[in-house]
Amino acid sequence: MAILPIYEVPHPILKQVAKPVVSVDDRVRRLLDDMAETMYAANGVGLAAPQVGASERILVAAVPLRGGWSEETEEDEEVGTKAFLTEVINPEIIEREGTLLYDEGCLSVPEFSLEVERSERIVIRALDRHGDPFEFQARGFYAVVFQHEIDHLDGVTLYDRMSALKRALYLKKLKKMRKNGAGSNPNPPEPTP
Ligand code: NI
């Protein structure tokens, strides 16, 4: 397994609509493994393939999936740690219910958070790491995580949700941060197809 570089805004790969996975093979499984390793190393709760330079509809989340449900319980202290991993390929949201507001952050938009309105409960249809279809429900914070990561697959980040003025100020701040070498990655390698 390898820790991959994380692409940050305004890198163009984050704006692309990612392509569906046609064949879930060893290459895809390796990418899933590397994405999980990268997510844990960065203390992220979710990571989408475009964030590591692969424009493909793949995401991982450090949240549990139990009996077709991904819902927070009081025992979930290990969220964001290696205790939990949900792998999702070619996800589609086939049902939505309710709304909630959540203050979201993103590994590709460092030092920034934004309140976003999301569906409170969703049903996702996807493929697992063996290429088999499965469905699950996600609720609350975990539903937010999956919706955030699926946004990445559609080329949408928190950066795109900022006003033009906010975006300009943020880029300025980011540039300054990078000059100080503050934990960001200004020049990731060119994406692999
Ligand atoms: Ni993100």
Beta strand 46-48 pairing with 69-70: unpaired
Q: What pLDDT does residue 188 have? A: 55
Task: Give the Cα separation of 62 and 48 in Å (integer).
Answer: 12
Q: How many domains are contained in the chain?
A: 1
Q: Are the CB atoms for 151 and 47 separated by under 8 Å?
A: no
Q: What pLDDT does residue 70 have? A: 86
CA–centroid distance, residue 97 to ligand 1 (Å): 22
Domain extent at residue 125: 12-179
CA–centroid distance, residue 177 to ligand 1 (Å): 19
Asked whether residue 144 is domain-assigned, the answer is: yes
Which domain CATH number covers 22?
Answer: 3.90.45.10
Asked whether residue 116 is domain-assigned, the answer is: yes
| pLDDT tens for the 193 residues of the chain, in order | 899 999 999 999 999 999 999 999 999 999 999 999 999 999 999 999 999 999 999 999 999 898 888 888 777 676 666 779 999 999 999 999 999 999 999 999 999 999 999 999 999 999 999 999 999 999 999 999 999 999 999 999 999 999 999 999 999 999 888 877 655 554 555 544 4
Asked whether residue 7 is domain-assigned, the answer is: no
92 is known as an active-site residue: no
Q: Are the CB atoms for 53 and 38 separated by under 8 Å?
A: no
CA–centroid distance, residue 179 to ligand 1 (Å): 23
Asked whether residue 193 is domain-assigned, the answer is: no
Asked whether residue 35 is domain-assigned, the answer is: yes
Asked whether residue 2 is domain-assigned, the answer is: no
Asked whether residue 6 is domain-assigned, the answer is: no
CA–centroid distance, residue 187 to ligand 1 (Å): 18
Q: What is the DSSP string of the chain?
A: --PPPPP-TT-GGGGSPPBPPS---HHHHHHHHHHHHHHHHTT-SEEEGGGGT--BSEEEESS--BTTEE---TT-TTTTSTT--EEEEEEEEEEEEEEEEEEEEETTEEEEEEEEEEEEEEEEEEE-TTS-EEEEEEETHHHHHHHHHHHHHTT--GGGGS-HHHHHHHHHHHHHHHHTT-S--SSPPPPP-
Q: What pLDDT does residue 67 have? A: 84
Q: Spot the catalytic one: 8, 56, 87, 149.
A: 149
CA–centroid distance, residue 44 to ligand 1 (Å): 9
Asked whether residue 188 is domain-assigned, the answer is: no
CA–centroid distance, residue 26 to ligand 1 (Å): 25
Query: Is the pTM here over 0.85, yes or no?
Result: yes
Q: What pLDDT does residue 193 have? A: 42
Q: Are the CB atoms for 51 and 14 separated by under 8 Å?
A: yes
